[in-house]
């Protein structure tokens, strides 16, 4: 039986299937269990001298409150063996953590809750790798556009990385090879990292095919799933002609397709819980144009001019300045809520202040209703407000492109600049 091509559920069943006498080919169920068990895997991380976010396991609220105090907020909380990020949240206080345990999960010794230090302003990385028991080969290093904290299935990502240094990329590959060897992987393996500055943190290892495999296969023109299945029945990578990394010839950007237009009333804010129902791909000579193509394919039509609304929480006021300045330089009229407007004007970026929705007119909902808004860059407040949800809903109804992360807004602004400089070309996948 193959268990490495069906997500988390068959991995959870692997050891039980083996004990029931079912022959499992590929990576040993014992090694699969080692990668999925928090305590066992922590020992492997320490053995390989790798970094992990500070974490703990809790079976009740009191344990969780003590752990959060020791780790320090914000923390990511999630049930063990989580599927698709379900019931995962980033919490910033004892009050939010108590609410999570009261309403989101029922913790017990049989169903513990995991707490991890949330790495703010970190870049998330996915790496797919194949190993035949002796040799391991990197499929691709994928850099997420959205910051760590957005589920990897919802985040756009780029092959090759576009912000990481060569030294960091080389270290990521070295760690991936070491993990594949230590876990005695036979077949595919996916590793997720967070990079904060130049420091690499290991998030998780999945000794299975990830949802990223089709994207990587198209980017490098190598059928990874086919090769992995042959490796699992005893073939060697050298014999299959895949003994060294194949690098993509162009920038390839994967964007998620989100189902919100079919579920009016649901909040479109991205989070650690996966919401996407599909993926699209943009290919170009530059990251900016590849990202622009991915946005068009996902149904987000980037404007080349018009009015852009910017509203960010206090933590993001400095980070949004380069994007706001780029939009202004390209001729966009900028409007912003008072706090953001004050920060932009002080930085020399001309912007018109409008009122918050709950404070009267003119506000962004009215401007959108009049068809006078073309782009929104809005990061959520920590506690969240109903007015923010109303804005996101209105943007969905009026098909106004909306970016809720600093990195997403920056990528969109650079994509607009690329579109203003050249018209996008269309290629067949085989023409890369």
Q: Last residue of a domain, which of 118, 138, 167? A: 118
Nearest to 390 by CA among 18, 398, 382: 398
In a domain, 69, yes or no: yes
> Predicted confidence band at 242 (pLDDT cuts at 50, 70, 90)?
very high
Instruction: Grade residue 78 by pLDDT with cuts at 50, 70 and 90.
Output: confident
For residue 59, the domain's CATH number is 3.30.1490.20
- How much is the pLDDT for 222? 96
Higher pLDDT, 410 or 272: 410
Q: Is residue 257 scored above 90 in pLDDT?
A: no
In a domain, 213, yes or no: no
Q: What is the pLDDT of residues 3-17, one digit of tens each?
A: 999 888 898 899 999
Q: Residue 225: which residues within 8 A CB-CB, separation 6 or more? A: 5, 188, 209, 213, 214, 217
Task: State the CATH number of the domain containing residue 316.
Answer: 3.40.50.1380
Residue 267 domain-assigned (yes or no)? no
Residue 338 covered by a domain? yes
HEC letters along the chain: CCCCCCCHHHHHHHHHHHHCCCCCCCCCHHHHHHHHCHHHHHHHHHHCCCCCCCEEEECCHHHHHHHHHHHCCCEEEEECCCCCCCCCEEECCHHHHHHHHHHCCCCECCECEEEEECCCCCEEEEEEEEEECCCEEEEEEEEEEEECCCCCCCCCEEECCCCCCHHHHHHHHHHHHHHHHHCCCEEEEEEEEEEECCEEEEEEEECCCCCCHHHHHHHHCCCHHHHHHHHHCCCCCCCCCCCCCCCCCCEEEEEEECCHHHCCCCCCCCCCCCCCCEEEEEEECCHHHHHHHHHHHCCCCCCCCCEEEEECCHHHCCCCHHHHHHHHHCCCEEEECHHHHHHHHHCCCCCEECCCHHHCCCCHHHHHHCCCCCEEEECCCCCCCHHHHHHHHHHHHCCCCEECCHHHHHHHHHHHHHHHHCCCCCCCHHHC
Instruction: Count CA within 13 A, CB hemisphere, residue 411.
Output: 30
Residue-level pLDDT at 84:
46
pLDDT of 385 strictly over 60: no
pLDDT of residue 101: 84
The predicted pLDDT at position 262 comes to: 58
Contact 361, 293 (CB under 8 A): no
Q: In which band, very low, low, confident or very high, does the pLDDT at 217 lie, cut at 50, 70 and 90?
A: very high
pLDDT at 100: 87
76: in domain:
yes
Q: Say whether pLDDT at 108 is over 70.
A: no
Does the residue 48 lie in any domain? no
Distance CA 162, CA 157 (A): 10
Number of structural domains the chain divides into: 2
Of 116, 117, 118, 111, residue with least CA distance to 60: 111
pLDDT for 302: 95
Q: What is the mean pLDDT of residues 206-221?
A: 94
Model confidence at 60, pLDDT cuts 50, 70, 90, reads confident
pLDDT above 50 (res 127): yes
Last residue of some domain: 92, 118, 144? Answer: 118
Provide the pLDDT confidence category of residue 170 given band limits of 50, 70 and 90: very high
pLDDT per residue over 111-125, tens digit each?
788 888 988 888 999
The pairs formed by 427-432 with CB atoms below 8 angstroms and a separation of 24 or more are 427/283, 429/218, 429/283, 432/221, 432/248, 432/249, 432/250, 432/283
253-262, 304-313, 335-344, 377-386, range with the lowest pLDDT: 377-386
CB 123 within 8 A of CB 195: yes
Domain termination residue (choose one: 69, 89, 118):
118
Higher pLDDT, 111 or 253: 253
Of all residues in the chain, the percent with pLDDT exceeding 70 is 90
CA distance 192 to 142: 10
Instruction: Assess contact for 278 and 262: CB atoms under 8 A.
Output: no
Q: Give a yes or no: residue 28 inside a domain.
A: no
Over range 357-369, report the average pLDDT.
Answer: 90
Please tell me whether the overall predicted TM-score, pTM, comes out greater than 0.85 for this model: yes
How does pLDDT run across 40-50, given as a tens digit for each residue?
888 999 999 99
Determine the pLDDT at residue 327.
98
pLDDT of residue 275: 67
pLDDT at 337: 93
Whether residue 328 is contained in a domain is answered as yes
Judged against a pLDDT cut of 60, whether residue 163 lies above it is answered with yes
Whether the predicted pLDDT of 228 surpasses 70: yes
**Other residues' Cβ atoms within 10 Å of the Cβ of residue 201:** 21
pLDDT at res. 112: 81
- Domain housing 405: 303-421
């Amino acid at each position: 039986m193959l268990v490495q091509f069906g997500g988390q559920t068959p991995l959870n069943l692997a050891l039980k299937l083996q004990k029931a006498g079912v022959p499992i080919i590929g990576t040993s169920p014992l090694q699969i269990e080692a990668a999925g068990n928090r305590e066992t895997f922590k020992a492997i991380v320490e053995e390989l001298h790798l970094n992990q976010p500070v974490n703990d396991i809790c079976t009740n609220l009191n344990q969780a409150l003590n752990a959060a105090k020791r780790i320090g907020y914000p923390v990511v909380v999630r049930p063990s063996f989580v599927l698709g990020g379900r019931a995962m949240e980033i919490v910033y206080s004892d009050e939010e953590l108590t609410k999570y345990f009261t309403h989101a999960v029922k913790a017990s010794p049989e169903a513990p809750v995991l707490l991890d230090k949330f790495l703010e302003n970190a870049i998330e990385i996915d790496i797919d790798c194949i190993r035949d028991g002796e040799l391991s080969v990197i499929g691709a290093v994928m850099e997420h556009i959205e910051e760590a904290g957005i589920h990897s299935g919802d985040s756009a990502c780029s092959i090759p990385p576009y912000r990481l240094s060569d030294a960091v990329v080389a270290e990521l590959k070295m760690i991936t090879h070491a993990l594949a060897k230590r876990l005695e992987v036979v077949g595919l393996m996916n590793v997720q990292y967070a990079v904060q500055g130049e420091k690499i943190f290991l998030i998780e290892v999945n000794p299975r095919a990830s949802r990223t495999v089709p994207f990587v296969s198209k980017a490098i023109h190598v059928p990874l799933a086919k090769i992995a299945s042959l490796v699992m029945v005893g073939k060697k990578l050298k014999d299959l002609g895949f003994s060294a990394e194949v690098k993509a010839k162009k920038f390839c950007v994967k964007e998620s397709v989100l189902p919100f237009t079919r579920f009016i009333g649901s909040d479109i804010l991205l989070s650690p819980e996966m919401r996407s129902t599909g993926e699209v791909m943009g290919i170009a000579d530059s990251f900016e144009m590849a990202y622009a193509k991915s946005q068009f394919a996902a149904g987000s039509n980037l404007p080349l001019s018009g009015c852009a609304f910017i509203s960010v929480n206090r933590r993001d006021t400095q980070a949004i300045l380069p994007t706001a300045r780029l939009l202004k330089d390209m001729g966009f009229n900028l409007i912003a809520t008072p706090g953001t407007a004050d920060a932009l004007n002080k930085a020399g970026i001309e912007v018109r202040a409008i009122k918050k929705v709950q404070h009267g007119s003119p506000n962004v909902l009215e401007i959108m209703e009049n068809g006078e808004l073309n782009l929104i860059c809005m990061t959520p407040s920590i506690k969240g407000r109903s007015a923010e949800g109303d804005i996101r809903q209105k943007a969905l109804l009026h098909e106004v492109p909306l970016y809720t992360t600093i990195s997403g807004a920056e990528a969109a602004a650079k994509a607009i600049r690329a579109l203003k400089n050249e018209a996008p070309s269309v290629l067949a996948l085989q023409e890369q």
